[in-house]
Amino acid sequence: MTGHRLDNKLAVVTGASRGIGRHIARALCAAGANVAITGRRRASLEAAARELGPGCAPYVCDQRDPEAVSAMAAGVIRDLGVPDILVNNAGLFRGGPVVEMTLDDWNEVIETNLTGVFLTTRAFLPGMLQRQRGDIFVISSMSGKKGDPGAAAYAASKFGLQGFAQSLLYEVRKSNIRVMVLNPSSVDTGEDSGRNEGAGLHLHAADLAEMIVHLATLPGRTLFRDMDVWGTNP
């Protein structure tokens, strides 16, 4: 971890029981932040919280469910306060040709990857607006820039995130709230506790996590709005 510090900051990371989200939560904790993590599966979420230590608190939430998101946000604010940092990371992939895709699969992707980000952001935004400060990160994908065969639902959700984040930025930037979109290429998530040295020059989840810590420590006058993130050997 670099020397960037987030002491006394509160972060919320969605989809943090494993993969990219767990790495992001780990990096934020290592930088001194208190971190609330969310996920659908209680056992894996609580296991992640135990691994990340006393500065991490788990909140079970299916972000497709408006009532569950409202209850989660209310619990975080009641227990910990209004977050300084919100990382919208939770997402899923359902692939296959459009002609074979079921409506259930389509809806699950859109509701998780796009509607869930809207619901979660909306739940925490009033507190950030009242405080006149905050950082909102959206973990998108290169699929939000370019469609691929067999990934119509996923690409549609990620293209939607681009429009959502750009519009939101114009609404809140005068309130000192930054909205930053990261578009990683394929990511080696691993499940180890740090950077996977065997991954060579491929992008690793720990690298993406360190980027978020760095961006969150930049002066408030600095904004990176939309970033494509590649490994040097994609």
Which residues, other chains included, contact 50 with Cβ-Cβ below 8 Å and sequence gap of 6+? none
Cβ burial of 162 (10 Å; 0-12, 13-18, 19+) is middle
Interatomic CA distance for residues 102 and 110, integer angstroms:
13
Do 112 and 64 touch, CB atoms closer than 8 A? yes
Cβ burial of 132 (10 Å; 0-12, 13-18, 19+) is exposed
Q: What are phi and psi of 88, to 5 degrees?
A: -85, 95
Q: Which amino acid is at 205?
A: A
Task: Write out the catalytic residue numbers.
Answer: 154
